[in-house]
Amino acid sequence: MRVLLVEDDAMLLDGMRLGLKMHGFQVEAVSLLGDAEPALRATHFDAVVLDIMLPDGSGLDLLRQLRARGDATPVLLLTARDAVEDRVEGLDLGADDYLGKPFDLDEVAARLRAIGRRAQGRPTPQLTWGALVLDPARRDVTLHGSRIALSRREFAVLEVLMERPGVILSREELQERLYGWLDDVESNAIEVHIHKLRHKLGRDAIRTLRGIGYRMGDPLA
């Protein structure tokens, strides 16, 4: 799950970025509205964690702009505990959830997973494809009930593919979901991850459509 974090407190920003990455999120972080807007136009994000009080304006203005142009990217607002009016206004403007400061990072991660599920129309936390089950919260994958050990990148590739198992995703789309702006990505990185996943799950678990991309194979029996 790729997340844009908009927060001006440098210590909080660094802590959240590191903590969310440990929870398996791909996090890009900015501290100004002026940087958040072009980032959202240039890159697909699965969710935005948005502080309301920012040096160059209100996060609610950014939320208003997103919804006005039909951008339905889920937004989790960060507010002061006593800022009831901001929370009400934010929800009415189209925010998906909010958290009051201070907060627990585990709760931030859980709320992001929840709004991600709602955005996909998925009622259950686990992703299931036949006998293959992926649990985003526990960072756990099982096949026929047996746990499969995956690296962080392998898990991320599989999660993206299982979120929309019938959709073909190009190498570029997968790279965008998995890697940050400043990551040094080798040209064959996605192919390497796919190869390793097939070795662990079976060669037919993921299909390659030459010149187009990848999707999940038939549900694993």
| Sites in the chain below the pLDDT cut of 70 | 81-82, 180-185
Structure tokens at 204: 């037919």
Given this model, what pLDDT does residue 42 score?
85
Structure tokens at 99: 């958290």
C-alpha to C-alpha distance for 197 and 201, rounded to whole angstroms: 6
Q: Which domains are assigned to the chain?
A: 2-120 (3.40.50.2300), 127-216 (1.10.10.10)
Location of structure tokens 């979120």: 163
Amino acid at 128: T
Given this model, what pLDDT does residue 181 score?
64
Residue 218 exposed, middle or buried by CB count within 10 Å (0-12, 13-18, 19+): exposed
Given this model, what pLDDT does residue 175 score?
86
Given this model, what pLDDT does residue 176 score?
81
Q: What is the dihedral of CA 112, 116, 118, 124, to 10 degrees?
A: -90
Q: CB within 8 A of 41, min separation 6: which ones?
A: none
- The predicted model scores a pTM of 0.79
pLDDT in tens, 95-117: 999 998 889 999 999 999 999 88
C-alpha to C-alpha distance for 198 and 219, rounded to whole angstroms: 14
